[in-house]
Amino acid sequence: MPITAHLPRYPLAFLPTPLHPLPRLNETLRQEFQLPAPSFQLLVKRDDQTGLATGGNKTRKLEFLVADALALGCDTLITTGATQSNHCRQTAAAAIHAGLRCELVLGGQPPESPNGNYLLDQLFGATFHWTTRENRLNRLHELAGELRAAGRRPYFITYGGSDPVGACGYALALEELREQAMALHAEPDAIVVASSSGGTQAGLVAGAWALDWDIPILGISIDETEAHLQGLVADLASQTAERLGKPRHFTPAEILVSADYLGAGYGVVGDLERTAIRLMAQTEGILLDPVYTGRAFGGLVDALRNRPDRFGKPVRSIVFWHTGGSPALFAYASDLT
């Protein structure tokens, strides 16, 4: 029985997503590190291929969030993010799939020419509400009130779908990874993932606990300090473990986070991201994204090279969890060329 078998789930994703080795990338890194083969191996878990509206990590969270919305009799999904939010794009598509409406609170100004995720949000017929980045969550609460007053039944989804309901998607994903790894005789000894609103990492951490799998899960922070993200993930992992029926209190110190790669801030593409995106594209033909996976993969390569202690123990076989985001590449064309 899957660890989430007792929880309602609305199927949205094409699962399992592939887990595969990266032979050309590994070879390139080996030459660069001058390490004798096979001293380490990177594998990739392809959650950029979850299948919903070009895929990404939010699909797994939305399977549990949409099921909850339907169980509560809601008629509209409401959520918030940046203009190029992958989460908003997948929420808009999930709403269509489930016969619900979708209203999005976006931070910033409407772009003159829609591009990337925002273009896709429009194609999915979402309704937009614009505000400042700082005011997004307030505006979302207000919107919930306005919709209720108008007789609608909104389902409130916080930043990134990162609540204990959504995070269960990643507890289940860890179980999927473990089965695939066993079939491949891969025996990964660490996972690296982009971490921002924390739900993906928290779900993986709670899943590892529920499955009794002692595997370090390193979150590369995209936009938060180490202490803040550790606290966020620890709280969310504790609540998620509770929801899984395996209660456990996680402390911030137990959560592995690196905030060494914040660069010039959220969504600002620097050399780290550019180099990582090119490296993955030109060795494996795989697209990373400019905001999350470019930064996380750049961080992973740097950690292997300069900060191996980041994993808390020696590691040989590492899964890079690809969380999607490629539609944003087009909106960042001028930063990438």
Ligand X SMILES: Cc1ncc(COP(=O)(O)O)c(C=O)c1O
Contact region with ligand X (CB under 6 A), list: 149-157, 278-286, 306-314, 321-329: 321-329
Beta-sheet strands, E only, within the chain: 19-21, 41-46, 76-82, 101-107, 127-131, 154-156, 190-195, 217-221, 256-258, 317-322
Number of residues interacting with ligand X: please give it, by CB under 6 A.
20
Among 17, 50, 57, 76, binds ligand X (CB under 6 A): 57
Per-residue binder mask for ligand X (CB under 6 A), 116-155, x = binder: ----------------------------------------
The answer to whether residue 56 forms part of the interface with ligand X (CB under 6 A) is yes
Contact region with ligand X (CB under 6 A), list: 11-19, 70-78, 250-258, 286-294: 286-294
Tokens for 205, please give them.
């951490």
- Region of 46 (left: φ > 0; alpha: ψ -120 to 50; beta: rest) is beta
For the chain, the first-to-last Cα distance in angstroms comes to 48
Is the Cβ–Cβ distance between 104 and 144 less than 8 Å? no
Is the Cβ–Cβ distance between 50 and 312 less than 8 Å? no
| Distance from C-alpha of 61 to C-alpha of 55, rounded to nearest angstrom | 12
Cβ proximity to ligand X, 199 vs 299, nearer residue: 199
Residue type present at position 320: F
The answer to whether residue 17 forms part of the interface with ligand X (CB under 6 A) is no
Catalytic residues: 85
Among 106, 325, 331, 332, binds ligand X (CB under 6 A): 325
Cβ proximity to ligand X, 100 vs 194, nearer residue: 194
Per-residue binder mask for ligand X (CB under 6 A), 182-201, x = binder: ------------xxxxxxxx
Q: What residues make contact with ligand X under the rule CB under 6 A? A: 56-57, 86-87, 160, 162, 194-201, 289, 292-293, 323-325
